[in-house]
Amino acid sequence: MSRTSEEETNLALVLAMFESVLNPMDSAAVDRFISPAYIQHNQLAEPGREGLKKFLDVIREQTPGAVHDVKRAFVDGDHVIVHYHVRRWPGDAGWAVIDIFRIEDGLIAEHWDVMQDVVPGGPNPLAPF
Amino acid sequence: MSRTSEEETNLALVLAMFESVLNPMDSAAVDRFISPAYIQHNQLAEPGREGLKKFLDVIREQTPGAVHDVKRAFVDGDHVIVHYHVRRWPGDAGWAVIDIFRIEDGLIAEHWDVMQDVVPGGPNPLAPF
């Protein structure tokens, strides 16, 4: 590995956000990690940091036992990429998700993601992680 | 940016694979980029390098005008991440895709991906790129 200390810091910020915001779906912890100028590209969330809080409140209400199981994470300069498995309840096949975050001034400033249903029983026994 | 020369080489390999394999959906070019021990995690493709060739032949037959429009790409050591927009025909809303590739001995040795339909008209005008 050849990560710079800035890259290690950026990666640690995002993993801490998973621990403190995404896993507990805690909208109250958002401001410690997310920029006030947050640019959201998720198709289902409303824009900005307040939209993210609303989104977290909705998913915590709907699926209080959801887990966000990180499989691998990468950093390239100011971008951090995380591949994880969302399971909404025990036994849920869930979603495969890859997030891309852009860090600016020590906070997450922009976010893209792609989500896909995990469908057991397809042609590929190694899918999807 | 703080990419090493090995990282630049890995990123260039993957972008060249998009140019020579994925965009033209050319199964004949696969062996120049993909390891014989290729580990495939795509849910719909059959395992291995031969499965990839078959997959390319199928999608070229079904959607000969498909484009794979790269939006952003990253590298972290031996892993390369590409975020792109697949449009199967002109005017297709298409899919948002993020691929993760692992490079070994100068070839792509492992691949994970997540794909999602682009749905126009959602709550977020910035979605998904």
Q: What is the pLDDT of residues B78-112, one digit of tens each?
A: 999 999 999 999 999 999 999 999 999 999 999 99
A7 interfacial to chain B (CB closer than 8 Å): yes
User: Mean of the per-residue pLDDT values for chain A?
Assistant: 95
Interval B118-122 mean pLDDT? 90
Q: Where are the beta strands (DSSP E) in B1-129?
A: 34-40, 67-76, 79-87, 95-104, 107-117
| Number of other CB atoms surrounding residue A3 within 10 Å | 16
Token pair of B95, please?
A: 């899919």
Amino acid B47: pLDDT: 87
pLDDT(A73) > 90 = yes
A5 interfacial to chain B (CB closer than 8 Å): no
Cα–Cα distances (Å) from B33 to A33, A40, B23, B26, in that order, read: 39, 34, 14, 12
3-state helix, strand, coil in chain A (%, to 5): 30, 35, 35
B109 interfacial to chain A (CB closer than 8 Å): no
The pTM for the full model equals: 0.96
Task: Give the one of A40, A51, A112 whose C-beta lies nearest to B129's C-beta.
Answer: A112
Cα end-to-end distance, chain B, whole Å: 22
| Number of other CB atoms surrounding residue B5 within 10 Å | 7
A74 interfacial to chain B (CB closer than 8 Å): yes
Interval A110-123 mean pLDDT? 93
Least trusted range by pLDDT, from A27-31, A86-90, A119-123, B31-35: A119-123
Q: How many residues does chain B have?
A: 129
Residue contact B76–A77, C-beta within 8 A: no
Residue contact B3–A76, C-beta within 8 A: yes
Residues linked to residue A22 through DSSP beta bridges, in sequence order? none
DSSP for A45-87, written as a single string: SPSHHHHHHHHHHHHHHH-TT-EEEEEEEEEETTEEEEEEEEE
Binned at pLDDT 50, 70 and 90, residue B60 comes out as: very high
Judge contact between B15 and B74, C-beta under 8 A: no
Amino acid A1: pLDDT: 59
A107 interfacial to chain B (CB closer than 8 Å): no
pLDDT(B1) > 80 = no
Task: Give the one of A2, A77, A122 whose C-beta lies nearest to B77's C-beta.
Answer: A2
Binned at pLDDT 50, 70 and 90, residue B27 comes out as: very high
B114 interfacial to chain A (CB closer than 8 Å): yes
pLDDT of A78-114, one tens digit each?
999 999 999 999 999 999 999 999 999 999 999 999 9
Which chain B residues are Cβ-neighbours of A47 within 8 angstroms? 124-126
Amino acid B94: pLDDT: 96
User: pLDDT: is A122 or B116 the higher one?
Assistant: B116
Q: What are phi and psi of A36, to 5 degrees?
A: -60, -25
Residues linked to residue B75 through DSSP beta bridges, in sequence order? B80
Which chain B residues are Cβ-neighbours of A118 within 8 angstroms? 43
The distance of B100 to chain A (nearest Cα, Å) reads: 9
Token pair of B16, please?
A: 């060249």
Binned at pLDDT 50, 70 and 90, residue A118 comes out as: very high
